[in-house]
Amino acid sequence: MTGALLAALVAGLGGAVAGRVVDSLALVAPRRPAPEGGGVAVRLDWRARAAGAPWPEVAGALCAAAVTLRFGASVQLVAWLWFVAVGLLLAVVDLREQLLPNRVLLPGVAGGVALLALAAAVDGDWPAWGHALLAGAAAFAVLLVMALISPSGLGMGDVKLAAFLGLFLGWLGWPVVLAGFFLGFLLQALVGLGLLAARRVGRSTGLPFGPALLAGALFAALLAGEWALPLS
């Protein structure tokens, strides 16, 4: 067994465990009124599932293995595994609730800034960290303008998610930022057209945008540059 395959298998197992954890956390990530009418219900039942199927485990395993092969044994890998975990939680919550909660987004952005700063310090690549911060701010500003122009198409959760995505994509360069958001919008359009053709939704039906944006960003990151641990 090659080292790359072993690394992918180990990362995949960890990603599957993270996916199962995420599936339960997604039930308490949005703020919910307690049954008694006061406070916030935060009790977590690890046996309960938000998705109702094992796809979070499968997605977590595949994504964790992919970023491990893409970035290899590097400090930035830790940041990208954080991206996978936070992104998967956001995707599950958005698909279930059509909501991207601040309780996940804000720590996600803060953790990304810190972990990428650590990678910059170890690798001596502070310009990449500066590009990441600038891209995160720029993505936030662009989607904020789009949300103000068309509030029915984008919510503030999507705007804050753009900052999270721009941060990580900006670490890889401006072309990757553009590619990531282009793929996200394209994927959302294809999913919407497919559901419309299948008559699963109507023209005015709102669809969660977060999963498409997250998938587009991950695809762009994986396709940008050579993989550190190729299987062949």
pLDDT, position 42: 58
Q: What pLDDT shows up at residue 34?
A: 52
pLDDT at residue 33, rounded to an integer: 52
Q: What is the pLDDT of residue 93?
A: 95
Could you list the pLDDT tens digit for every one of the 232 residues in the chain? 588 889 999 999 999 999 999 999 998 888 655 555 455 455 677 778 888 778 999 999 999 999 999 999 999 999 999 999 999 999 999 999 999 999 999 999 999 999 999 999 999 999 999 999 999 999 999 999 999 998 877 899 999 999 999 999 999 999 999 999 999 999 999 998 888 888 777 776 778 999 999 999 999 999 998 898 887 6
Per-residue confidence (pLDDT) for residue 152, from 0 to 100 = 77
pTM score, whole prediction: 0.91
Domain ranges, ordered by start, for the chain: 3-32+41-223
Give residue 45's pLDDT. 73
192 vs 122, 202, 212, CA distance in Å?
43, 9, 11
Q: What is the pLDDT of residue 31?
A: 63
In this predicted structure, what is the pLDDT of residue 200? 74
- Spatial distance between the Cα atoms of 66 and 224, rounded to a whole number of angstroms: 13
